[in-house]
Amino acid sequence: MLDKLTKFFASRFGIVLTGESIGILATLLQQLGNPPNEGICVTCFERDIAGALGLHRVEVVRYIRPEIIGFVLGSTLAALAFREFKARAGSAPLVRFIPSIRGHEIGLTKQLLEGLSTIPGVLLYGPGDPAQQTATVSFNISGCQPSEVGQLLDEEHGILCRIGLQCAPAAHRTMGTFPSGTVRFGLGAFNTKDDVRLGLDAVRELAER
C-alpha cells in the first residue's frame, strides 16, 4: 500500500494533483481569514512566527500561523507513515548550531543598520535594534521608488533584494509605506561582512545620485 502511494505522489498526475490541492487550500485559507495575498507564503510564515516570538513589533503580523502547525505535524506523520523518519541521537550539536547562526545574523544586521543610518537620504524602518528583529532590513531612498532601487541594485551591482509590499500590505499600511513598499535586504547564515559592505557601497552610490 505504501509503495503504491509513494509511486502515485511521485507520478506526474500526483504532482499536479498536489499542486492543485495547495492552490485550492491557499484560496480557502484567504477566504477563512488570512490577510489578502497571504494564502500560503513561506516568507510570511517566517515573519509572523518571528513576531509571535517577539523578534519584531508589528502587531498585525505577530501570531503563529495555524498552517505551520499543520505542515509540521502533517509532514511528521507522513514521514512516520512512509517509514522515512529517522531519529538522530543527541541534541547538543543542534543546540550549539542554531544560536551560532542567530549570533552571526545579529552581527551582520547591526553592521547593515549602522551603515545605512549614515547614508544621507536613506529611510530605515523597524525597531533599529538587531537583537529585536530578524535579519531582514527594510529601507527606502528619498525620491526613489523601491522598484527603481531594486532594478539598479540588480543591473548595476549584481545585488538581488526584495522590493514592494513583500506579501505584507497590512504591515506596510501600519508603517506608512503603502502602496510603494520598501527595499528589503535579507541576510543569512552564508552572508559575510564583505557582502554587507558591498551592499552599503551600492546603496550609498545610488543615494548620492
pLDDT one-digit tens code per residue, 16-48: 888 888 778 777 777 776 666 566 777 777 888
Position 87 in a domain: no
Q: Residue 122: is its pLDDT beyond 60? A: yes
Q: Same domain for 21 and 101? A: no
138 and 182 co-located in one domain = yes
Q: Give yes or no: residues 114 and 196 share one domain.
A: yes
CB-count burial class (<10 Å; 0-12, 13-18, 19+) for 109:
buried
Average pLDDT in the chain: 85
Q: At 132, which CATH number?
A: 3.90.1150.10
Does residue 86 lie within any of the structural domains? no
- Section 107-115 average pLDDT: 97
Q: Which domain covers residue 172, as residue numbers?
A: 92-207
Are 15 and 51 members of one domain? yes
Report the 10 Å Cβ neighbour count for 169.
18
**Residues 6+ away with beta carbon under 8 Å from 160:** 153, 154
- Looking at the fold, whether 49 and 112 belong to one and the same domain comes out as no
C-alpha cell at 90: 543527541
Contact 161, 181 (CB under 8 A): no
49: its cell numbers: 512566527
79's enclosing H/E stretch is: helix 66-81
Residues 63 and 97 occupy one common structural domain: no
Indicate if 75 and 124 belong to the same structural domain. Answer: no
In a domain, 42, yes or no: yes
The last residue of one of the domains, among 81, 115, 140, is 81
Report the greatest alpha carbon distance in the chain.
65
Global pTM value: 0.62
Structure confidence at residue 130 as a pLDDT band (50, 70, 90): very high
Total of domains in the chain = 2
Span 54-80, pLDDT tens digits = 877 777 778 777 777 777 888 888 778
Q: Please check whether residues 16 and 66 belong to one and the same domain.
A: yes
